[in-house]
Every structure is written in structure tokens, then in C-alpha cells.
Structure 1
Amino acid sequence: MPVHTAASRLRPVDVMLERQWDELVVRSGAPPFMRPGWLRAWMDAFAPGEPLHALTVESGGEPTAVLPLRQQRGTLRSPTNGESMIFSPVVADAAAAAELADRLFDGPRRTIDLTSLPVGGGAPAEALVAAAARNGNAVLHRTTNVCPFLDVSGDRDAFVQGLSAKRRQSLRRLHNRLGAAGEVTVTVHDGREHLDALLREGYRLEAREWKRAAGSAIISRPAAAKFYTAVARWAAENRILRLVFLRLDGRPIAFSYNLQQGGVLYGLKLGMDDEFMKFSPGVLLTQHLIDHAFADPDVRLFDYLGQNESYKTEYASGTREQVRLQVFPGPTGKLRRAAVVKTGELRASLVNRLPASTRKRLVAVRNRITL
């Protein structure tokens, strides 16, 4: 394993670091959600005016590890919220990941709060989790999400045959019903042409009635709309945007917002026209996305992202765990950890006692809060 003789520091992100960091993401195979373009769009939308910092490990003037962070009143936080997909250190190799973890927890004793960290399979974030308890830190480590994915490096026909007979029959019936209703087309756009018009169509489909009621649709929240629009422009410039539409007689009835990078197709958002629910357009579009992933020789994995929902798990070959890591240093660390645990338990207990209608209103309020 390579040994790094390197400097390590927390520094404001400047233009040169962004360039070097972006190159490291691409070389290392880190997800697009760790590229500066994604995180700049996130900061501009959800933390406007706040500077973005990064903990770096450097060797020969080049970063070998980068961890973007926010500094808030003695706490280092990941630049993440409910719109974030994956947050992970960007590292050249395992040695850089270990050194980054050492510097994060052996430096000034600050509270640390990192979310959406993928673990398992030797993921770079595991070095952070392993190092968190050093120096007597109190640590809270919780699973927050389990994301399904599908290996598409094999044969598409073999995958379809592996589905249950009931599912195959259901898909054939849905395809036939939609085909009988009119001309069915599926289009994949990279956003280099007509991007604004495509996003307007897509956002309308994503804003389903229940999402508008809960305040969780993209167009229900100005910050979210600003974020996804900025990400789409950045991704189109970098040739990684994939906007997919299912159309009936030219009318869009389902939409998927995706990024494709490093052999992975990432599914960020899925929307559909509720008027056509009898055709299950979301199910059909998901099947078309799977077909697209199998057909593209540059794609080996379809990452559904989001929650481990039934319509995803049926088409999944595995899952990825995501965790939240909170570190409370110093003599009061254990007390602060206990207070966070107790507050979470009380909140969950109170919410569970509320009527369903009240819980929905609380969800709507929460979804309008950007941070």
C-alpha cells in the first residue's frame, strides 16, 4: 500500500483546488455528488453566502484526499440535506483515506456531523467511521438509508428471465395496454439542447399531487428548483446528464432525472402524470431505464438512490447502506451524545402519537426547511 508523506489542512475551496479536486473525483471513480459542481450548486441553493471548506491531504502539491465541509459554530458538517444522494471522502487510495481520517479526528477537537456516508465493500467513508472513536470521542453512528442497486454488466435477457413469472406477465400487459392507447416513445436527452424546456416538462411530472400537498415537489421549494436546475446545467456541460421521458402520442407521461458517470447510472428523481396512472408509467419508465443501462456498454451499475422501496428492490441485485456519523469530543461528549439520542427518541414517540393528517402537515413543513 502506498505511503503518503503529505500535508493536511482545512482550507477554503478556491478555483485551483476545485480543478484538482474534480480531477481526483474522475480518476478515483467517486460519485458525481462529490464533484465541486454538484456541491457548489448545493451551497448556492441551500447555504447561500456561506463559504465551502475542504480538509485535504496533499502530496507534491496535488490533493490525494478531499473532504468538503461546512464550518458552523465549532462544528464541522457535511454539505448535505434531504436532496443529497451520497457523501463520501474523495481519495486516491486506502492510504490517503486513512490519513484523511487521522487528520480529521486528531486535529482540533470539534463536533463533527456527516450524513449520507456509504459504508461496506471498503468504501472510503469506512476509514472515517473506524477512526471516529479515537481520543475518547463519543460517537453516534446510525443507519439512515439502505439504497438498492442493479448490476447491469450481465445479460439483459437473463435478468428479465430472473424476474417472477407474475412480474413478467404484468410488464407485458402494461406495455400492451399503453401501446394500444397510442404511439409510445422513450427519449434520452443529455441537456445540451432545449434544457430549460425539458426541465419544465420534467418538473411538472415530478410534482405529483401528493408531493405538492406534502411540499416535497421540486417546484414547491424555490431552493430545490434552483439546485436541480443548476445541477442540470453543470451536468449537461460535463456530458453526464440524462433526462429520460416516456411519451404517449408525443405527450410526456413519465420523467426521470439521472446522472451517468464512471460506469454508473444514478436515478435522482422520478415523476409521472397521475392522469395516466392506470398504465403505471413509472413502472414502465423504470423498465426502460434498466433496458437503457443494459444496452449502454459504458454502464455497469444502475444505482436507484433514495429509499429501499418495493418497486426498486424487485429489480435490485444488492443494497448499499448509508449512515450518519456524529462525533462529540471532550469531557462533555458522552452527555451531548446521550442528549441527542434522547431527543430523537422523544421526537419519534411524539410524532407517532399524532393523527396521520397532522403528520402530513409536519412533513410538509419539514420539506420546506432547506437545512
Structure 2
Amino acid sequence: MRVAGKNASDLLRPLDPDLERQWDQLAVATGSSPFVRPGWLKAWAGAFRQTEALRLLTVERGGELTGVLPLLAARGVLRSPTNFESPLFAPIAADHEAAAELAERLLAVDSGAVHLSALRPDDAPTEVLLDAAGRSGAPVLRRTLRASPYVDVTGDPAGFWRGLSKNRRHGLRRLRNRMGDAGEVSFEVHDGRENLDALLDEGFRLEAREWKRAAGSAILSRPGSTELFTEAARWAAEAGILRLAFLRLAGRPIAFGYNVQQGSVLYFIKVGMSDEHLKLGPGVVFTSHLVEHAFAQPDVSCVDMLGEDEPYKVDFASGTRELIRLHTFPRSWWGGVQRAAIVTTARARAFVVSRLSDASRTRLSAVRNRLVG
């Protein structure tokens, strides 16, 4: 179906309860991540004051919703409802045809300016969008944000552990023994249907490590982040997908994971650990317990660790998945200028940051987080 150029307001739909219900059903049916379901995105929009701006680009077939792309529209640009706290984003589509029509509608907007972040290029609807953008004739910029580790938890758990390097197995055994010598170790996972506020309070305090407080990146450092992860937890608990995990030593929490489990994937979103117990390796030990827990869940095939490829994740990773940002620009000389400006700014920023001391980077991060939080 060919869509003539239109204003964003002509294509985007405001939310209503029936549309939200259909959107959520489609997201679950297509195996999309929880981060593009209405429960998560409404929590995000409320936390970052975007509730009135959140709209949907949709595709229907025979009166049934077959494609959805949540968007924000401002100053002639269509943006994904994402920021520094957004793990993943993607179009939602029932099939290839729906994904293609959704991409065509998106790229047909007169302004031609689209900025989408937290995309995985190997996600099927995103692949269709990237291909359509490449063929559109508009200036396009694709930038890699990071590569996030994942753990394949199918097959024999014993085989997985044997597959780790000898040094990693030895190091993990040493840390777990050292922790056991310090007191009784327990690992627990809560679905949030009971004592949710107390669990979040305990977990958020543990996540607010000293360096995160200094950088302004802890959940409790920013009102928006605190609201997002509180409201998203309430939604996820009600939806039955919340998994708050704690590693305790002698009854005291020393590591915490904010996770959601949807379909066959356990999403590892936030982690916190006790700086007081760092010599016991709480991050590594916690992650090993979380992987063991995932292996024990019959429906789970993958632990998606999200975020950066930090050492406590890489030790167990089966591989990594790329996360990108996509920009398309107006089909004009001005679009080319805009593309060049973003490339030049990004390179200059990377050059400057690479030459800063760790302390300066921390201060810069703190300023940035205060500005965006």
C-alpha cells in the first residue's frame, strides 16, 4: 500500500483504552519485548512528562491491528519514546507485510525526520524498517550504541558450566566458597505480588552505589528514574512478569537484580551490589545464581543482559547483540547538512570524552544526568 506524504498529525493516533488493549495483545502475540508494551511505555511517559505527546503509528488489516510503532512528535521530528533508561525499542508487527507497511507509513511523513533509538538490527520488524530506510532515497545515519551480552540457557546446565573457561570456573568457585565462608548465602526471586514497595526500597538502595550516586546515574538519583522503575514494577507485577532477585549473605542483601520475564526471555535490566562486600564478588556470584535460576525455568531460553558488556556479564555470555540508533533526514540538501552535523558532533564528543580523566567523566556524567533527569 503506497502512502502519500502526510503530516505526522495525520498518521499518529492518540491512546484510548481499546487501542491500548489491542496494542498490548499484539505485542504479546508477536513476542515483542516488554519495553514496547503500553504498561512500560506509559510508565516511561509519565515519569519523563511525555504522556500527552505519546502517540501510535498503526497498521490494520480487516479491522484488526497488525502493526504498531509508539512515537513522540515534536518540531517536525518523529522520535522513539526512549532515553538513557530505555533498554530496547522496536516496531511491533504481526508479519513481514505489516512491518513493511508500518515502515512505509513512517517514512512517508513530509518532514522526513525520524530518530529512533535502542533498536536491535536483528529484530525482524526492525530489519524491514532499516531496509526501507536504505531504499527511501533520504539521507540515513545508523550509529552503534553498544553490544549487549546474552546467555543461552537451553540445553544441559552442567554442559554450560563446563563450557566456561577453566579460569572462569575456578574464579567463580573461589568467590562462591569465600562468600559461603562469610555466612549463609541465599538467592531469592520475587514476583512483586507481595511486599512490592519494601522490596523496591531495599533493591533501589542497594542499586545506589557510591560511584552511581556520584555520577547521578542511580535510580534514586533522579525523580524520573525512580518513578519509572516504581510504576513499571507495579505494572509488571500485575502482568505477572516482574522478577526481583536478591543475593543475601547472612540475611543481608548484597546484590539485587531488577528483571522482567516475558515469554522465553528473562530481561536483566538493573543490578545493584554492596560496595562493602566487593571483595566477595557479589556481581559475579549474583549473576551465576541468576543464570542457574533461568536454567531451572522450563519456559526460559535466554537471559538478555542488556546494557554494557561489563565483566560480571561477559564471564557468562554466549554472545552479544548490537544496539543501534537510526536517523533519517529530509530528502533535500538540508537533510544532508543535518546528517553531517550529527556525525561531526558525535565524533567531536567521542574525541573529547576519550581524553578526560575518570573523575572528569564522572562529573560530566553527573551534569548530564541532572539535565536529562
TM-score with structure 2 length normalisation? 0.94
Return 5+ residue gaps in structure 1 as ranges.
none
- Aligned equivalent of 2:182: 181
- Aligned equivalent of 2:311: 310
- Aligned equivalent of 2:37: 35
- Aligned equivalent of 1:68: 70
Aligned: 1:221 with 2:219: no
- Aligned equivalent of 1:108: 110
Distance 1:42 1:204, change over 3 A: same
Any idea what SS the aligned residue of 1:119 has?
Answer: coil
CA-CA distance at 1:10 after TM superposition: 1.8
CA distance in 2, matches of 1:49, 1:151: 36
CA-CA distance at 1:180 after TM superposition: 1.6
The partner residue of 1:352 within 351, 354, 373 is: 354
CA distance in 2, matches of 1:352, 1:155: 42
The partner residue of 1:45 within 24, 44, 47 is: 47
TM-score with structure 1 length normalisation? 0.95
- Aligned equivalent of 1:190: 191
- Aligned equivalent of 2:89: 87
CA distance in 2, matches of 1:169, 1:257: 27
CA distance in 1, matches of 2:200, 2:371: 23
CA distance in 2, matches of 1:356, 1:179: 34
- Aligned equivalent of 1:288: 289
| Structure 1 letter corresponding to 2:29 | R
- Aligned equivalent of 2:27: 25
- Aligned equivalent of 2:266: 265
Distance 1:62 1:271, change over 3 A: same
Any idea what SS the aligned residue of 2:259 has?
Answer: strand
Any idea what SS the aligned residue of 2:316 has?
Answer: coil
Any idea what SS the aligned residue of 1:88 has?
Answer: coil
- Aligned equivalent of 2:364: 362
Contact 2:150/2:302 (CA < 8 Å) preserved in 1? Answer: yes
Contact 1:94/1:124 (CA < 8 Å) preserved in 2? Answer: yes
CA-CA distance at 1:355 after TM superposition: 4.0
Contact 1:223/1:370 (CA < 8 Å) preserved in 2? Answer: no
Contact 1:106/1:135 (CA < 8 Å) preserved in 2? Answer: no
Aligned length: 365
- Aligned equivalent of 1:155: 156
Contact 2:153/2:300 (CA < 8 Å) preserved in 1? Answer: yes
- Aligned equivalent of 1:146: 147
Any idea what SS the aligned residue of 1:107 has?
Answer: coil
Contact 2:284/2:313 (CA < 8 Å) preserved in 1? Answer: no
- Aligned equivalent of 1:235: 236
| Structure 2 letter corresponding to 1:358 | S
Contact 1:101/1:131 (CA < 8 Å) preserved in 2? Answer: yes
CA-CA distance at 1:33 after TM superposition: 0.5
**Percent of aligned pairs with the same amino acid:** 58
CA distance in 1, matches of 2:169, 2:348: 45
Which deviates further from its counterpart, 289-298 or 173-182?
A: 173-182
Contact 1:9/1:57 (CA < 8 Å) preserved in 2? Answer: no
Contact 1:259/1:267 (CA < 8 Å) preserved in 2? Answer: yes
Contact 1:105/1:134 (CA < 8 Å) preserved in 2? Answer: no
Contact 2:56/2:69 (CA < 8 Å) preserved in 1? Answer: yes
Residues 24-70 of structure 1 deviation map (CA, whole Å, 9 limit, x = unaligned): 01100001001000000000011345321111001122210100000
CA distance in 2, matches of 1:147, 1:351: 21
CA distance in 2, matches of 1:353, 1:174: 35
- Aligned equivalent of 1:325: 326
Which deviates further from its counterpart, 358-367 or 185-194?
A: 358-367
Contact 2:283/2:312 (CA < 8 Å) preserved in 1? Answer: no
CA distance in 2, matches of 1:96, 1:314: 39
CA distance in 1, matches of 2:229, 2:31: 22
Any idea what SS the aligned residue of 1:322 has?
Answer: strand
Any idea what SS the aligned residue of 1:271 has?
Answer: strand
Any idea what SS the aligned residue of 1:124 has?
Answer: helix
Contact 1:114/1:324 (CA < 8 Å) preserved in 2? Answer: yes
Contact 2:267/2:305 (CA < 8 Å) preserved in 1? Answer: yes
CA distance in 2, matches of 1:99, 1:49: 26
- Aligned equivalent of 2:172: 171
- Aligned equivalent of 2:5: none
Superposition RMSD in Å? 1.7
CA-CA distance at 1:345 after TM superposition: 1.9
CA distance in 1, matches of 2:350, 2:282: 34
CA distance in 2, matches of 1:149, 1:283: 15
